[in-house]
Amino acid sequence: MTPLPLPSDPPPLFKDLLVEPEEARSILRPQKDERYGFGFALSPYRGCGHGCRYCYVREYPNALHGPADWGGWVAPKLNAPELLWSQRHKLHEARVFMASATDPYQPLERQYRLSRRCLEVLLLCPTTEVILHTRSPLVLQDLDLLRAFGDRLSVGLSIPTDDDTVRQTVEPRAPAIPSRWAAAERLAAAGIQVTIGVAPLLAVHDARAFARRARASGASNAWVGGLRLLQQDPFYKLLADHGWLKVLDPDYKEGIRAAFLETFPPRRPKREAKAEPVAPPRGPAARQPGLFDRVS
């Protein structure tokens, strides 16, 4: 692999961001995801410039600074692609989540291209499945690379509300909601599997219209995930101040989830869809659950 030249100084775009490049000691973290099962989490950055105000990662023990500084620092793992290459033997028929504790397409990726270079390694691991999660249309800068994976890569776009004024309060540094819809459309039009993650669920203006918008984007699936607050989380006060405490109510989540289930009904095995069996039944077909089969 030929490493791309790395910037010696953070570019002006990141002047309010403390950039602390580091050499990582490990890059693949075993993880069990409640939706996707067992796999490896791969985070090319520590910290996240999106700095979402609810982000539970801000209190992770490996954070370089305190929760109050979340979003103000990022540590690019400069050796991430080379480290990944050295550990590719672990990836046979494995699943890689990119990323569970950072956004792989946060603004710094425009300059450092660490996510891209990790993807280039993963492309050379032909039995590895890749699940990307991002809030950013910056993912489109790698569209050709993503397409090269075929059906072993999917992209999850987090769109936790249909109301960009809510986003401006809660995720002020993350890309606007309309730009995320546009990204979903371009990815889907390019033949890439897209899932909309309504997560963590925030205040929603019109659940049914929201679900229809998700469907119209070309996404093949969607899921709804609840908000995870820290102990004595200051985000609780923000919710209270804006009259958004309803997002913590299980019935509220259930209502949004029902609207998405209407629009993205669970897929059924083809055999079940037959009205009359043409031959004596031999029992139910064994079927692995699909990655995007359900709205949760």
Query: Could you list the residues that contact ligand SF4 (CB under 6 A)?
Result: 48, 50-52, 55, 57, 102-103, 135, 174
Q: Tell me whether residue 76 or residue 85 sits nearer to ligand SF4 (CB atom).
A: 76
Q: Tell me whether residue 133 or residue 257 sits nearer to ligand SF4 (CB atom).
A: 133
Strand residues in the chain grouped as ranges (E): 18-19, 28-33, 37-42, 45-46, 73-76, 95-98, 129-134, 153-158, 193-198, 221-224
Q: Tell me whether residue 55 or residue 291 sits nearer to ligand SF4 (CB atom).
A: 55
User: What's the rounded Cα separation, in Å, for the pair 171 and 160?
Assistant: 10
Handedness of CA 149, 5, 72, 173 (dihedral sign): negative
For residue 224, the minimal CB distance to ligand SF4 (Å) is 16
Closest to 70 measured CA to CA, from 103, 21, 110: 103
User: What's the rounded Cα separation, in Å, for the pair 211 and 189?
Assistant: 19
Q: What is the CB neighbour count within 10 angstroms for residue 156?
A: 27
Q: Are strands 73-76 and 95-98 parallel, antiparallel or unpaired?
A: unpaired
Q: Tell me whether residue 19 or residue 57 sits nearer to ligand SF4 (CB atom).
A: 57
Q: Are strands 95-98 and 18-19 parallel, antiparallel or unpaired?
A: unpaired
For residue 100, the minimal CB distance to ligand SF4 (Å) is 8
Edge to edge, the sheet with strand 73-76 lists 18-19, 73-76, 45-46
Q: Tell me whether residue 125 or residue 202 sits nearer to ligand SF4 (CB atom).
A: 202
For residue 8, the minimal CB distance to ligand SF4 (Å) is 25
For residue 53, the minimal CB distance to ligand SF4 (Å) is 8
For residue 180, the minimal CB distance to ligand SF4 (Å) is 11
Q: Tell me whether residue 99 or residue 222 sits nearer to ligand SF4 (CB atom).
A: 99
Q: Tell me whether residue 125 or residue 170 sits nearer to ligand SF4 (CB atom).
A: 170
User: What's the rounded Cα separation, in Å, for the pair 276 and 182?
Assistant: 43
User: What's the rounded Cα separation, in Å, for the pair 11 and 93?
Assistant: 38
For residue 214, the minimal CB distance to ligand SF4 (Å) is 19
For residue 135, the minimal CB distance to ligand SF4 (Å) is 5
